[in-house]
Amino acid sequence: MYTQVTGMKLKVLALLFVLSAVVLSGCTGDNVTDGEVNVTDGVNDTVDENTTIDENGTGDVIAVNESDASPDVTEQNDTTTPEQPAVNVPAEGTVTQGPQVIDTGAPRTYTIRLEKFLSTPSTLQVATEDTVFWINFNDPVRAFTLVSENGLWENRSIGYRQAFGYTFNETGTYNYSILAFPRMSGTIIVK
């Protein structure tokens, strides 16, 4: 009887172990669901709709010039197919260097990472109406107190994986620091 109960306990423990491994394996994905702030730094801005990627695998960007494009229009029983712009190959001597970011004039969002007891980047140049977020990614986990040396905001405590954002409305040079950590200070230049 004792061996049957012990054997049954081992089977139940093994089953619980397998089930917990299956449940926990689904929790290791890259999806962020713990309240982490998702902030973009404006790297993936909109590219002009007349820009296409060269198909030769180099990733070169070639702009389509609409005046040189020859639309592919086929008339058949009063129906037309949509225009397909032609891709022009750049003239010799023309160098294309990756996608061109087009400034739409819309306010941007920037991120300053607080980690490894540093703020990265420590100097940031932004335009008026742009927003800067300070996000705490420090390991070991700890809260930081963000201080505006120019009095733009009251001292803010930023916990692990939390953020504080501020929109800069006036041009100037603004300094910030992290209380008790002078290496984590930085400058925001608003133009």
| 31 lies in some domain | no
Q: Total domain count for the chain?
A: 2
Beta-bridge partner residues of 147: 177
| 39 lies in some domain | no
Residues 113, 98 share a domain: no
Expressed as residue numbers, the domain containing 171 is 109-190
Note the pLDDT tens digit of each residue in 108-154.
Answer: 999 999 999 999 999 999 999 999 999 999 988 999 999 999 999 99
Residues 162, 89 share a domain: no
Nearest CA among 74, 92, 91 for reference residue 83: 74
| 12 lies in some domain | no
Beta-bridge partner residues of 135: 113, 163
| 81 lies in some domain | yes
Tokens representing 9 are 């306990």
Residues 156, 128 share a domain: yes
Sign of the CA dihedral running 68, 74, 75, 78? negative
Q: What's the pLDDT at 65?
A: 41
Max avg pLDDT among 66-70, 98-102, 146-150: 146-150
**Cβ contact 96:42 at 8 Å:** no
Task: Please state the pTM of the whole predicted model.
Answer: 0.48
Choosing from 78, 102, 126, the residue where a domain stops is: 102
CA–CA dist 127, 107 (Å, integer): 8
Choosing from 102, 132, 147, the residue where a domain stops is: 102
Note the pLDDT tens digit of each residue in 30-49.
Answer: 444 444 444 444 443 433 43
CA–CA dist 73, 80 (Å, integer): 6
Say which CATH number the domain at 149 has. 2.60.40.420
